[in-house]
Amino acid sequence: MSFFSNLRADRFIAQIKSSNDILGPETQKAIAKLKEVGAGAIEPVLAALPDADKQATVAFVDVLSTVATVKTFPQLLEAMVQGSPRVIAGVAWALTSSRGYPPNLLLEALNTPGIPKSALLDVINAHRARLSVRELLTAAYGQEGNEKAAMFKIVAEVADEAAIPELIGRLQGKDTIGRLHILNILARFNRPEVQRALQAQLNDPNKMIRAAALGALARMDGPIDVARVCALLRDAEIEVQNRAVDVLTHARDPNTVRHLVPILKDENENARRAAVEVLNEVGDAGAVRYLLEAIKDDDWWVRSRAGDALGKIGGPKVIDAVLELVREKDEDIRRAAIEILNQTKDERAINHLIDATRDKDWWVSERAVDALAEIGSQRAVPRLLEMLQSGNTKALPIVVRAIGKLGASQSAEVIAPLLQRPEKEIRVEVMAALARLTDEGRADRVRVQLQDQLGNADPTVARAAQRALTELEVRFASDAKLMPPIAVTGTQSSRSAP
């Protein structure tokens, strides 16, 4: 800068700094004259910025904005590297306002050593409409950490449908963080080509990519590759499983249930849980029936895993569907439905289970009794007492056990005579039930009946009597002394006490 230009700039700067009215004609004239100095004004203006007041700062930024060009850009950039915080803020403000230089210079400046990137990124954001998505992406990949995230945020602001091919093409890159950002940007575009590109990422070895792709798909409408998404219900990462559930429940594809069958049979409990969560949202009686039919010929442990998952995790839709299936003609379906209800403890099932105790299939009938006992409703007691008169010897132990869990003290009078039955399985269950049901008024009489069983030659019966007597003592804290256990002899029973 020439000596005379320097003198002129200093004079105008002094006039601006001393003015009390920045909008006054003399001050505005000084600002205009300072702008006419051109590039020669940059150095003295930068020197004046640190101690300038608010009004003068606005004027100086206006001057810098006017003189910012391709030629002066390096000088302004150097000021951002070397200057004080007030100088950096002033130059960044000026570059934000100016359109006198090509914006690609800002992207190149990101690689300048010592450049305050936060301030420069603010300038880039202000000029984002003047930059292409490709230019911004190229610059973003050259950054790290917070700067990369900020650049991709700018890309997201600029990207429109015309940028989709460019964004999809970048999904094949090796930069995982960059791909994650692009997946999040693509999530805004609910288009078939975007959905296909997202689904192609579902098999990626990186869990973050799989999760991000699923998160984007969950925000879209339209058909999905149900088989591929269902496979991710088996994913080792819980977050991926959860997002796969979100995608499937959002899509509500009618083919979903067919692909849930292998997941429901999986050894992994989390996978089975995820499959049931999907079924809770998209399933109905037909869907649950399809699942039960699909697994009925599998090994018992496979059926058990599936039934356990449906029972413990199944929501209202699943339970409603299972309740309908209790009356199915197919014996295997009824059995599976009862087994599921055994896990639910849902009081809506009580009436259905009471009806199921009359099922011609003994297994269904007995498991219905077990389910009623698990639910714990007194509404089942009259039917259980009725079953004692059915003459079904095989079912009596199960029925007595259920009465022991559910019955009132009056039930003890009904089951006590069964101690005279010859079947030890029945007697064992009766003693356990009496210990639970007997009230204090009947305790002494029951204690005598139990003591009579202590001397039974069958050790299973004798041990059951001892356990029942001990339970009575604990319940009533009686001072009466229990008879010591009588040593039992004879052949050990082939069946142990339950």
pLDDT tens per residue, range 328-353: 888 888 888 888 888 878 888 899 89
Buried b / exposed e over 63-97, threshold 16 CB at 10 Å, is: bbbbbbeeebbeebbebbeebeeebbbbbbbbbbb
Tokens 């093409």: give the residue: 169
Rounded to whole angstroms, the Cα distance separating 340 from 205 reads: 36
342: left (phi over 0), alpha (psi -120 to 50) or beta: alpha
Residue 9 C-alpha from the chain's centroid: 64
C-alpha neighbours within 13 Å on the C-beta side of residue 79: 26
Instruction: Identify which of 399, 388, 320 has the alpha carbon closest to the alpha carbon of residue 352.
Output: 320
| 344: Cα within 13 Å, side-chain hemisphere | 27
Per-residue confidence (pLDDT) for residue 32, from 0 to 100: 93
* The predicted structure's pLDDT at residue 330: 86
Q: How far apart are CA 174 and CA 142, in angstroms?
A: 13
- Rounded CA separation 391/426 (Å): 13
The closest alpha carbon to 77, from 36, 33, 124, 38, belongs to 124
Ranges under pLDDT 70 in the chain:
1-6, 478-498
Longest dimension (CA), the chain: 127
Please list, residue by residue across 181-194, b when 16 or more beta carbons sit within 10 angstroms of its beta carbon and e when fewer do.
Answer: bbbebbbbbeeeeb
Q: How many CA atoms lie within 13 A of 427 on its CB side?
A: 21
Q: What is the pTM of this model?
A: 0.71
Distance CA 257, CA 239 (A): 22
How many CB atoms neighbour CB 297 within 10 A?
9
